[in-house]
Amino acid sequence: MALITLRRNLCHLSDFRIHGALAALRNQRVNHVHKIVQEHLCPWFCSLPPGPVRVRFRHAPCQKFHSENGNDLPPAGEPAFSQVHDWDRFEQNLKNEDEQISYRRLNNFTSSEEVLSFLSTLQTLPDAVAAGALKRICEVEKKGDFQRLPKEILENSIFQVVCDQLEQDPSNLSNATLATALQALTLSYVDPRSSLLLKLVAECQHRLGSVGLDVHSLCVLGESLIKLRGPDCSAVERIICLLQGKNLEAFTPEDVVTLYRILQMCPDSVHEHQAFLNKMNTFSLSVVSSLSPNLMSQMLTALVVLDQTQALPLVIKLGKHAVRHIPHFTNKELGKVLEAFIYFGHNDRFFTKALEQHVAPLCLTLDPEVLSAVMGYCGSKRILSKPILNAVAEAFVCQPEKFSPSQISELIEPFGKLNYLPPNASALFTKLENILLTHFSSFPPKTLLKLLHSCSLIECHPVNFMAKLFSPHFLQRLQGDEPYLDRLSLAQLTQLFLTSVLECPFYKGPKLLFKYQVKSFLTPCSSLETPVDFQLYKSVVIGLIDLLGARLYFASKVLTPYRYTIDVEIKLDGDGFVVPFTVDEDVHKRVALCIDGPKRFCLNSKHLLGKEATKQRHLRLLGYQVIQIPYYEIEMLKSRLELVEYLQRKLFSQNFGRHWYQE
């Protein structure tokens, strides 16, 4: 029945035959009540193993209350986003007005003591209120993934009455109550042999075969069963099939995200449900505007885990709506959003602007994981955001101890990639050097190499560490158990060695052995150069042929002895004449044309990336006359004649007359 009095539950006690059984509990001595109740109730939380079992939880942010660590409880009257929807949805299923009032009050409590005290005032305890109380107790006591309920809660007589009532006859529970009770069990460790758990799961399996469950109940039950029994539970696949048969229009935004989470926790069967996922991705476009920050973060995380690269329209729309949520994301949620954008290669200038406004003033209070994700986002998308980079640099200088070795690398690498030195560069790299001097061995070899290579890209050369990098001991650590060193590591080592020769002539330490040096920096998947933009290259080649008279007078994509590949090379003799590229004698000067497309610059800027600036700097030190042909100058030319005149101005400066070789 919907209403089961505590008098019935405790009818074996003469003290509870009076009206208002819970009131009688208050009049008993705690030890006496506990002893009697424990003899008749099945202690479903008992038999706990010595080690905790990891359970995945979801914790929502607040609509108006922002928790920095994502674990703080909302204050009374301001429940979290997802909790608001869960509690409101369940409350709508309560037909009795008293039940609704009781349920609403439960949602406002912020401690187990308040919940239990409130229950002790009730004359009767409806099943729905019992399930809601159990869920609220587990919510307020949840402090981590391995958390179990405190002993004083488990031994509390009123708490045990609540558990016993839900266990007695699960068949009488409504669908919503059953779903809420199971959901509560996922919020804390529960003994897998618990009779309450076994009975609720059995009832759930029974209803899947005989009772029509609504969409929300199916979603809650599905997610709860996965958390409690794992994705291989037979009932989970049945629930997924039932949900696929439902009309997506019947799904609320919360239900859609829950279904994404269910499929996310069943990665081995994703390919079987891809057609349904495609429908979900399309339908989800219509609910994006209704998503809370927490739900938006969860949807993006699920899309990453499910590898929904074909759902870019959905990702783009989520990115647009994420702009207004940036101030409300918790640290963890913002980190997940940024990781998703990095994964899908998405960037949005409005999102970046909002990120700048949020990160800069709060940088010192943000978690290291969030700062790493922010820098990863800027680095991967070539976003030169000076407010973000400056704020992160200041945070590192002020609080270096809170960053792990991998996080330090993730923070510093974008400075090298984006070719940017913050205003406090001196303090930043002094702090970094001190950390490396004292904790050098704590850095994983590849992490350390990437970090020091990034520093060299912005001319902060790690001279004090080059001897260690080129030592056989470090190279052995770098290789690890692999049969050979990966090509990217070899390329980074080679460029660092070239840097030591060209830019650090005072370095007299060990050299990098020739067998560890790559022949070219331009290689697939491990390149330290950006390939030339093909369309831009074709335009320049046409102009050069018109200017010089023949294709014979320049060479394309020339691999130099110094590992760099030159887009176009032109040779000049001592009188400034252009000679055919096949001529090697009497070459007075070599001209290197760098045909720089958009991908060689920071996004939407004229600022060269660190690796391109390093390449041009090295070529100049090697004796080349470097001439940059940037895309934004070519795009301004309106005709072929203008292109030829432009190239003439670029190639033939005042030092050289306008000449080319003639036989």
**pLDDT by residue (tens digit) across 483-518?**
889 999 999 999 999 999 999 999 999 999 999 999
**What DSSP string describes 274-294?**
HHHHHHHHHHHTTTGGG--HH
SS3 525: coil
pLDDT band at residue 80 under the 50/70/90 scheme: very low
Most trustworthy range by pLDDT among 31-45, 132-146, 454-468: 454-468
pLDDT band at residue 339 under the 50/70/90 scheme: very high
pLDDT band at residue 27 under the 50/70/90 scheme: very low
**Closest Cα partner for 132 from 147, 122, 144?**
122
Check residue 20 and give its pLDDT: 40
Mean pLDDT, residues 265-293 = 92
Helix ranges, 186-308 (H): 195-210, 215-229, 234-244, 253-264, 274-284, 293-305
Measured in Å, how far apart are the chain's first and last C-alpha atoms? Answer: 106
Burial class (CB within 10 angstroms; exposed 0-12, middle 13-18, buried 19+) of 112: buried
Mean pLDDT, residues 212-218 = 86
H or E segment and range at residue 628? strand 625-630
> 449-470: per-residue pLDDT in tens?
999 999 999 999 999 999 999 9
Check residue 9 and give its pLDDT: 37
pLDDT band at residue 96 under the 50/70/90 scheme: low
Mean pLDDT, residues 53-82 = 37
> 240-253: per-residue pLDDT in tens?
998 998 899 989 99
| Structure-token match 């779903």, residue found | 179
Return d(Cα 155, Cα 158) in angstroms, integer.
9
Check residue 97 and give its pLDDT: 66
H or E segment and range at residue 595? strand 589-596
Of 621 and 62, the structure prediction assigns the larger pLDDT to 621
Check residue 169 and give its pLDDT: 86
pLDDT of 394 > 90? The answer is: yes
* DSSP state, residue 608: B
Mean pLDDT, residues 19-32 = 41
| Contact criterion met (CB below 8 Å) for 289 and 253 | no
Return d(Cα 391, Cα 615) in angstroms, integer.
28
Check residue 144 and give its pLDDT: 59
Provide the 10 A C-beta neighbour count for residue 508: 9
Helix ranges, 93-144 (H): 97-108, 112-119, 127-141
Contacts of the segment 485-492: beta carbons below 8 A, 24+ positions apart? 485/516, 486/526, 487/518, 487/523, 487/525, 487/526, 488/525, 488/526, 489/446, 489/449, 490/516, 490/517, 490/518, 491/518, 491/521, 491/523, 491/526, 491/527, 491/528, 492/449, 492/450, 492/453, 492/528
pLDDT band at residue 536 under the 50/70/90 scheme: very high
**Closest Cα partner for 173 from 138, 136, 212, 130?**
130
SS3 167: helix
| Pairing of the two strands 125-126 and 565-572 | unpaired
| Structure-token match 């070219």, residue found | 520
pLDDT of 297 > 50? The answer is: yes
Structural tokens at position 604: 């939407």
Check residue 102 and give its pLDDT: 76
> 499-508: per-residue pLDDT in tens?
999 999 999 9
Beta bridge partners of 559: 565
- In the chain, the percentage of residues whose pLDDT exceeds 70 is 82
pLDDT of 71 > 80? The answer is: no
**Residue 114 corresponds to which amino acid?**
E
**Residue 238 corresponds to which amino acid?**
R
> 303-334: per-residue pLDDT in tens?
999 999 999 999 999 999 999 999 999 999 99
Average pLDDT score over the chain: 83
**What DSSP string describes 416-452?**
HHTT---TTHHHHHHHHHHHHHHHGGGS-HHHHHHHH
Return d(Cα 240, Cα 237) in angstroms, integer.
5
pTM attached to this predicted model: 0.77
393 — phi, psi (to 5°)? -60, -40
| Structure-token match 């949620």, residue found | 333
Check residue 430 and give its pLDDT: 95
Return d(Cα 293, Cα 299) in angstroms, integer.
10
Mean pLDDT, residues 462-482 = 93
Check residue 640 and give its pLDDT: 94
pLDDT band at residue 205 under the 50/70/90 scheme: confident
Structural tokens at position 473: 């001991």
pLDDT of 145 > 60? The answer is: no
Strand (E) positions, 517-588?
555-559, 565-572, 578-579
Check residue 211 and give its pLDDT: 60
| Contact criterion met (CB below 8 Å) for 351 and 319 | yes
